[in-house]
Amino acid sequence: MTHTGIGPEYPTGSRPDAQAVPAAIAALAARFGNRLVTSRAVCEQHGHTTTWIANEPPDAVVFPQSTADVQEIVRICAARGVPIVPFGTGTSLEGQVNAPRGGVSIDLRDMNRVLDVNAEDLDCVVEPGVTRKQLNEHLRDQGVFFPLDPGADASLGGMAATRASGTNAVRYGTMKDCVLALKAVLANGEVLTTARRAKKSSAGYDLTRLLIGSEGTLGVITELTLRLSGIPEAIAGGVCPFPSLEAACNAVIATIQIGLPVARIELLDEVQVKACNAYSRLALREVPMLFVEFHGTEAAVAEQSERFGQIAAEFGGGPFEWTARAEDRTRLWQARHDAYWAAVALRPGAKPIVTDVCVPISRLAECIMATQADLVESRLVSPIVGHVGDGNFHLALMVDFGDADEVERAEALLGRLVERSLAFEGTCTGEHGVGQGKMKYIATELGGPAVAAMGAIKQALDPQGIMNPGKIVAGL
Amino acid sequence: MTHTGIGPEYPTGSRPDAQAVPAAIAALAARFGNRLVTSRAVCEQHGHTTTWIANEPPDAVVFPQSTADVQEIVRICAARGVPIVPFGTGTSLEGQVNAPRGGVSIDLRDMNRVLDVNAEDLDCVVEPGVTRKQLNEHLRDQGVFFPLDPGADASLGGMAATRASGTNAVRYGTMKDCVLALKAVLANGEVLTTARRAKKSSAGYDLTRLLIGSEGTLGVITELTLRLSGIPEAIAGGVCPFPSLEAACNAVIATIQIGLPVARIELLDEVQVKACNAYSRLALREVPMLFVEFHGTEAAVAEQSERFGQIAAEFGGGPFEWTARAEDRTRLWQARHDAYWAAVALRPGAKPIVTDVCVPISRLAECIMATQADLVESRLVSPIVGHVGDGNFHLALMVDFGDADEVERAEALLGRLVERSLAFEGTCTGEHGVGQGKMKYIATELGGPAVAAMGAIKQALDPQGIMNPGKIVAGL
């Protein structure tokens, strides 16, 4: 393993024997022709993630077009003990698509058909390479939409695999909540159906939820049945300035606790607001801000917006300027979604280390303020952005990787951030997943029995350890 | 195995050797004194379920008071290969608490403390023996409540173990959605922590959801962190008559699809309405009815109620008489919760076979009407009640178990009900679980790879097969 950034410290098992990979590649080439690629550039691109973890490219990339194709690929690799790594859009943040033991990346971009839309049932069936924007484009005229929006235009298969969420999760849940059923190719090449199209079921173990968040370590998702939502009749939203982070967090707590059905409630600290002003040409006051949105009938969203304005005022915030005009809202949320790029532009030459944690909302203010203080003490630059209705927040540390001391300070800060979140009864990741980057925290967060249980499940479903090895649980 | 009712046909493995059970009982008696009971009456009571499946009593019942007690019990039994069967309130419906291989029932009723309430975070921590009503009584003055309400006043541990839901699920989800984290004693006696108190996490496999619905076959739940909801400022609801089941179902579909945030929407067919009139002294028109409720601000619930009335009228239903008066609502929902007893009173001398299925909502009208026709053709009596916002409905077949021909017709109808639901892309159970009664349907519903995956997980976490054997997946 070589790393240009900060490296994961976890053992990732050993590579297959020297003959295995060439043999698998030959078999795949015979079957898939030019849908198998071994060029260095393509392989490196498939180990690349939007983050700091060093590139560990696979030996080959294959582009299946069907579940049957994926079965063949898995069988060819399994017969030779060759690792496989599922790949969606490569926008995961913790090294999920790296190939530390080499092997074959399965790029699902050609499996990008919307197979079925059942608007009456608020569900649809898609292949894993469909992206969230592509799906919503497809659904546009049918009165329904898929609500979840991680920053990137990620593939839905990848979003399920990493248990992604985004700004709407406070109202619509995460991928855990928005997937009804999956089909996945298991390590033995068989196709698992986890559930059917009914909205709820208590028919046995929840295999759907077991695969969601398993990051390709238990199976390759080849079909998803997704829960959709009716497009709200009206949407209202706006921005609300606060005198301090603490005041903003307390307004969020009050909003959630009285049950105001907020659809989005996003915190931007003053550093992020400044970055957004510069990047997206906004003219926001450079103080902590909440971006808030309500979905419902016209009367309801107006009532809710007014009510939120009152709550904000109770904590010294406001004025809450809200609008139901789509144009104004779009501009605002585009800026929110561009927060990552705005952060990157903050410090030219530096590269971002993006991370997230999640704590109970009552501890959010304390956790964010301690983290801001830690940034100052560590002489590091990072905006803080949060899906604060869920207690989830992100850093985008802008690090000069040429400065070893700065890299060390960044690494130490990341460790303290996780420790702090755990001390506040939180989790080391709210939505980015474990990948390689956070394996070392699972034992601290959940304890030995949880790590052992995850290992036992991994071993039971993937006895050879070929499914995306070196992620989540230690390899064989 | 002996059965007085219809018996499950699944193999349940063999009993432990003749010395094992007495040895385990002796060890438990030495440790737990009079908290270990072997009387025939108590053992039979612990094999009893509110349903048709014959009693298979355990050899002993033990009453732990702590997680450490449960660990000791599991270790004593595991050392001797003796089965254990967790027991909450015994209100499950598919034989979940039966002991087909004998062994020890762990009755969790003494573990009934509310350990922590975090009203700001909308969560609480409870022991598994706390019942849903007990919890809401405890929470009463804190502005929060736990929304899920299966018919019985079930224990929260049992509700999690069976993935229960109830009338509020259309708005608040099922136990899958309302549990944040669990502690459970595994087959090896260790205590598993599945997650922390953060509202969302993507830290590894979803062990919380794996345990929810596992019916004690993977571990004994000893602590639950539950998600609570703010008590709504206003509640409005009422009943709405419809000219036909189809019209009622179509009104439900329209309601869900436009995104009207209904908190409850329950269908009672004309047979159930008649039964409720008789049992609960109501004077409802004996036609298909929807019981509907909205939660929100006063203005919102009024708007939503009016809107629902308009939708109902479009399908020939109504008038929708709604009220925000608590007294009137309580009487109505008490009648709904007493639907089971009303059904039992329909045919004195008969015993109920209660079952549930769940289909995509677009297929609901068709599925219910075909089931009603099947009842008539089969000369059987059953009201139909449904959590129709989720596509979930129940039968309570009133069967004279002295009439072998009737029992046979009932059994055949149950089989066709499941087949019909599966043909409509539904599930063999929406909320009652698998237990013994529905094991035979899992393979048809999900296919061989799902059964094999469940078996592999069971084997990985319970290699001796002592955890509630003979439920969900075939015993070893």
Residue B75: list chain A partners with CB under 8 A: none
So what's the pLDDT on residue A475?
59
Which segments within A176-218 are labelled E, that is strand? Answer: 179-186, 191-193
How does the average pLDDT of chain A come out, rounded? Answer: 93
Query: What Rg value do the Cα atoms of chain A yield, rounded?
Result: 22
* Contact between B204 and A472 using a beta-carbon 8 Å cutoff: yes
So what's the pLDDT on residue B11?
47
CA–CA dist A256, A252 (Å, integer): 6
Residue A86, strand partner residues = A106
Strand bridging mode B234-241 / B321-323 = antiparallel
Looking at the structure, do residues B95 and B186 belong to the same domain, yes or no? Answer: no
Looking at the structure, do residues A220 and A286 belong to the same domain, yes or no? Answer: no
Looking at the structure, do residues A413 and A342 belong to the same domain, yes or no? Answer: yes
- Please report the sign of the dihedral spanned by the C-alpha atoms of residue B257, residue B258, residue B264, residue B265: negative
In the predicted model, is pLDDT for residue A157 greater than 50?
A: yes
- Contact (Cβ atoms closer than 8 angstroms) between residue B53 and residue B98: yes
* Contact between A230 and B257 using a beta-carbon 8 Å cutoff: yes
How close B68 comes to chain A (CA, Å)? 15
So what's the pLDDT on residue B340?
86
Domain boundary among A196, A230, A264: A230
Who among B204, B213, B454 is closest to A202 (CB)?
B213
Looking at the structure, do residues A391 and A414 belong to the same domain, yes or no? Answer: yes
CATH number at residue B386: 3.30.70.2740
How close A312 comes to chain B (CA, Å)? 17
Residue B450: list chain A partners with CB under 8 A: 192-194, 204, 207
Residue B198: list chain A partners with CB under 8 A: 358-360, 390-392, 421, 425-427, 430
Asked whether residue B75 is domain-assigned, the answer is yes
Looking at the structure, do residues A194 and A314 belong to the same domain, yes or no? Answer: no
Asked whether residue B45 is domain-assigned, the answer is yes
* Contact between B205 and A143 using a beta-carbon 8 Å cutoff: no
- Contact (Cβ atoms closer than 8 angstroms) between residue A224 and residue A182: yes
CA–CA dist B371, B368 (Å, integer): 5
So what's the pLDDT on residue A10?
45
How close B386 comes to chain A (CA, Å)? 13
Looking at the structure, do residues B121 and B225 belong to the same domain, yes or no? Answer: yes
Could you tell me the two tokens for B343?
A: 């059904």
- Contact (Cβ atoms closer than 8 angstroms) between residue A445 and residue A202: no
How close A278 comes to chain B (CA, Å)? 32
Mutate to test the interface with A, among B168, B199, B305 (most CBs of A within 10 A): B199
Who among B193, B452, B473 is closest to A450 (CB)?
B193
Who among B123, B176, B191 is closest to A206 (CB)?
B176
* Contact between B199 and A358 using a beta-carbon 8 Å cutoff: yes
Nearest residue of A to residue B200 by CA position?
Answer: A430
Instruction: Report ipTM for this prediction.
Output: 0.95
CB neighbours of A448 closer than 8 A, spacing ≥ 6? B190
Asked whether residue A58 is domain-assigned, the answer is no
DSSP state of B121: G
How close A34 comes to chain B (CA, Å)? 31
Residue A186: list chain B partners with CB under 8 A: 449, 453
Residue A392: list chain B partners with CB under 8 A: 198-200
* Contact between A205 and B214 using a beta-carbon 8 Å cutoff: yes
In which band, very low, low, confident or very high, does the pLDDT at A13 lie, cut at 50, 70 and 90? low
Nearest residue of A to residue B124 by CA position?
Answer: A360
So what's the pLDDT on residue B2?
33
Domain boundary among A419, A434, A449: A434
Could you tell me the two tokens for A357?
A: 């944690």
Per-residue pLDDT of chain B (476 residues; tens, 9 = 90+): 333 344 444 445 677 788 999 999 999 999 999 999 999 999 999 997 667 788 999 999 999 999 999 999 999 999 999 999 999 999 999 999 999 999 999 999 999 999 999 999 999 999 999 999 999 999 999 999 999 999 899 999 999 999 999 999 999 999 999 999 999 999 999 999 999 999 999 999 999 999 999 999 999 999 999 999 999 889 999 999 999 999 999 999 899 888 888 999 999 999 999 999 999 998 999 999 999 999 998 998 999 999 999 999 999 999 999 999 888 888 888 888 888 889 889 888 898 999 999 999 999 999 999 999 999 999 999 999 999 999 999 999 999 999 999 999 999 999 999 999 999 999 999 999 999 999 999 999 999 999 999 999 999 999 999 999 999 997 54
Mean pLDDT of A199-208: 97
Asked whether residue B453 is domain-assigned, the answer is no
Residue B438: list chain A partners with CB under 8 A: 203
So what's the pLDDT on residue A11?
47
Residue B177: list chain A partners with CB under 8 A: 173, 177
How close B39 comes to chain A (CA, Å)? 32
Mutate to test the interface with A, among B174, B175, B200, B441 (most CBs of A within 10 A): B200
CA–CA dist B273, B270 (Å, integer): 5
CATH number at residue B98: 3.30.43.10
Asked whether residue B465 is domain-assigned, the answer is no
Q: What angle do CA B283, B287, B293 make, to 5 degrees?
A: 75
Angle, helices A298-314 vs B298-314, to 10°: value is 170
* Contact between A200 and B431 using a beta-carbon 8 Å cutoff: yes
CA–CA dist B469, B102 (Å, integer): 10
Asked whether residue B468 is domain-assigned, the answer is no
So what's the pLDDT on residue B1?
32
Mean pLDDT of A144-165: 96
CB atoms within 10 A of CB A444: 12
- Contact (Cβ atoms closer than 8 angstroms) between residue A143 and residue A133: no
Looking at the structure, do residues A225 and A269 belong to the same domain, yes or no? Answer: no
So what's the pLDDT on residue B259?
82
Single pTM value for the model: 0.96
* Contact between A204 and B472 using a beta-carbon 8 Å cutoff: yes
In the predicted model, is pLDDT for residue A149 greater than 90?
A: yes
- Find, among A208, A27, A21, A230, the residue nearest to A122 by Cα: A230
Residue B452: list chain A partners with CB under 8 A: 190
So what's the pLDDT on residue A12?
52
How close B358 comes to chain A (CA, Å)? 6
Q: What angle do CA A192, A160, B452 make, to 5 degrees?
A: 20
Nearest residue of B to residue A455 by CA position?
Answer: B460
Looking at the structure, do residues B42 and B82 belong to the same domain, yes or no? Answer: yes
Q: Which residues of A452-475 are buried (b: 16+ CB within 10 A; e: fewer)?
A: bbbbbbbebbbebbbbbbbbbbbb
* Contact between A430 and B233 using a beta-carbon 8 Å cutoff: no
CA–CA dist A141, A156 (Å, integer): 20
* Structural domain for A371, as ranges: 232-434
Looking at the structure, do residues A156 and A246 belong to the same domain, yes or no? Answer: no
Looking at the structure, do residues B333 and B381 belong to the same domain, yes or no? Answer: no
So what's the pLDDT on residue B5?
42
Asked whether residue A22 is domain-assigned, the answer is no
* Contact between A457 and B454 using a beta-carbon 8 Å cutoff: no
So what's the pLDDT on residue B13?
62
Looking at the structure, do residues A238 and A223 belong to the same domain, yes or no? Answer: no
Q: What angle do CA A457, A93, A436 make, to 5 degrees?
A: 45
Who among B122, B233, B429 is closest to A257 (CB)?
B122
Asked whether residue B469 is domain-assigned, the answer is no
What does chain A come to in residues?
Answer: 476
How close A202 comes to chain B (CA, Å)? 5
Domain boundary among B181, B202, B230: B230
Q: Which residues of B320-336 are buried (b: 16+ CB within 10 A; e: fewer)?
A: bebebeeeebeebbebb
- Contact (Cβ atoms closer than 8 angstroms) between residue B272 and residue B342: yes
Could you tell me the two tokens for B208?
A: 């919380």
How close B174 comes to chain A (CA, Å)? 8
Looking at the structure, do residues B133 and B226 belong to the same domain, yes or no? Answer: yes
Mutate to test the interface with B, among A176, A179, A180, A199 (most CBs of B within 10 A): A199
Mutate to test the interface with A, among B202, B297, B436, B440 (most CBs of A within 10 A): B202
Residue A202: list chain B partners with CB under 8 A: 162-164, 174, 213, 429-434
CATH number at residue A157: 3.30.465.10
Who among B232, B258, B430 is closest to A200 (CB)?
B430
How close A177 comes to chain B (CA, Å)? 8
- Contact (Cβ atoms closer than 8 angstroms) between residue B152 and residue B91: yes
Domain count of the fold of chain B: 4
The alpha carbon torsion through A177, A180, A186, A190 (nearest 10 deg) reads: 170
Amino acid (1-letter code) at residue A405: D
